[in-house]
Structures are given as structure tokens and as C-alpha cells.
Homo-oligomer: A and B are copies of this chain.
Amino acid sequence: MVFLVEMDVNIPTTWDEDKLKDYIKREQETSQKWQKSGKWKYLWRVAGQYSNVSVLEVESPDELHAIISSLPLFPYMDIKVKALCKHPNAVRETLL
């Protein structure tokens, strides 16, 4: 099943630059691991904002949560999740 996930990052203002760099590096590694697995289909930056929009195709809500909560910045993000389904006007047969 397919989910649209919007994440707004709130970097803690008490972190020094080394800690921030370490988090950003581990965030990248985790996110790219899931993209390469084929489950994280799209990862877009919202132009001008510290936010991203993602599309994930997973087996279950539990798998979605396992992926999102594995991100090191997970506790510091505001996250919105929408389960997607076929629109009656959609020309495309499949969701992705």
C-alpha cells in the first residue's frame, strides 16, 4: 500500500555543529538504504523549506512505521501521513 508522508524538521537549537553533522550523515544513510530497497519511492524537498514530501510503498502500516521511525531525526520532526488509494478519475491503472 502507498502512503504520502510529509516531514518538517525541527533541529534542536541546543545541538552543536558536530552533533548536527553526525545526525545529518546518519539520516542520509538511513534514508538512502530504504530508497535503494525499493520501498521509499520518492523523496522530494519542498522548495524553500526545511521539509520533505515522500511516497512510500509498504506491506503494512507497521512496516511504514518501522521505516519512518528508523530515521535518526524521527523524534525531531512533525510528520503527517496520508494513506492513498485509487482515484475514480485516475487514468493510470496502478498507484505507482
Interface residues of A (CB under 8 A from B): 1-5, 9, 11-15, 27-28, 31-32, 35-36, 42-50, 52-53, 60-62, 64-65, 68-69, 74-76, 79, 81-92, 95-96
Contacts and interface: CB of A to CB of B under 8 A. Distances in A.
A45 B82 CA distance: 10
A61 B1 contact: yes
A15 to B, nearest CB: 8
* Tally of this chain's copies: 10
A77 B53 CA distance: 19
Contact of A61 (B5, B11, B76, B84): B84
Majority SS at the chain A contact face? mixed
A91 B36 contact: yes
Contacts of A14: 12-14
Given A2-B61, A48-B68, 19 more contacts: A1-B1, A11-B75, A12-B14, A32-B91, A35-B91, A43-B87, A44-B87, A44-B95, A45-B86, A45-B87, A46-B81, A46-B83, A47-B61, A47-B82, A48-B64, A48-B69, A49-B81, A50-B75, A62-B85
